[in-house]
Amino acid sequence: MNRLLVERKVLGENDRIALELRKRFRAQGTLCLNLISAPGSGKTSLLESTLRDCRPQDRVAVLTGDIQTDNDASRLRRFGFPVKQITTGGTCHLDARMVERALADWPGHNLEILFIENVGNLVCPASYDLGEAAKIALLSVTEGDDKPLKYPSIFFRSSLMLITKLDLLPYVPFDLAEAEKNARRVHPGIEIRGISTVTGEGVREWRLWIEKQREPHRLAALASVL
């Protein structure tokens, strides 16, 4: 028997493309945010609320991934910002190549913010870097406060956990403190915010969080112009 050393990352090709995308976003001053959650946690509703609050002159766009249908893109296009659907046709996550292809024929070069709405899935999207500045894990209060312990890789890799559907809190046995404790257990540095797109609670804090992430990108955009 002969042992040959291979030493290769299985997702090396994905990581290579993601690195290219990240460089491109940084050079353009585009903040790219990768939204990940289980199906039905409120990714599209969050984006609807976010786009509704944007000014017409804001350079914001959305790439939205689904296994089938372009329902999400139709919902999001109503706000007048560029939205593109990536239909994965069975694949349970977006990968960097899908994002690269989607951006190839798209006016993405002067964007301030690019939201990527991943396929609804708390497992697979964790493995695929899309070149984003930050992953955001959404957890709705109807799902249970132990989700961070059940799906640690997603919460471990996310910069922010956004607890959604806060308006339903009185009706479900979801313990906010417990959810925060569980998230910090698998990722001590994770930031945590709560939001309800129905009552508007936490919407301002969400906007402030995005603005804070934009700071280094805004400087990069400025530097590229000067």
Q: Compare residues 82 and 152 and give the one whose CB is closer to other proteins.
A: 152
Nearer to other proteins, 1 or 177 (CB): 1
89 contacts other proteins (rule: CB under 8 A): no
Binding of residue 124 to other proteins (CB under 8 A): yes
88 binds other proteins (CB under 8 A): no
Structure-token pair, residue 5: 């050393």
Helices (H), 88-202: 96-104, 147-150, 152-157, 176-186
Q: How far, CA to CA in Å, does 42 sit from each of 1, 75, 98?
A: 53, 13, 23
- Residue 12 or 56 having the CB closest to other proteins: 12
Contact between 135 and other proteins by CB under 8 A: the answer reads no
CA atoms within 13 A on the CB side of 48: 15
Block residue for tokens 């894990």: 137
Minimal distance in Å, beta carbon 137 to other proteins?
12
Does position 6 bind other proteins by CB under 8 A?
yes
C-alpha 45/C-alpha 50 separation (Å) is 8
Binders of other proteins among residues 14 to 43 (CB under 8 A) are none
| Residue 225 interacting with other proteins (CB under 8 A) | no
According to the binding rule CB under 8 A, does residue 123 interact with other proteins? yes
Q: How far is the C-alpha of 1 from the C-alpha of 94, rounded, in Å? A: 39
- Closest-CA residue to 63 (of 7, 114, 10): 114
Residue ranges in contact with other proteins by CB under 8 A: 1-11, 13, 91-93, 123-124, 126-128, 149, 152-154, 156-157, 185-189
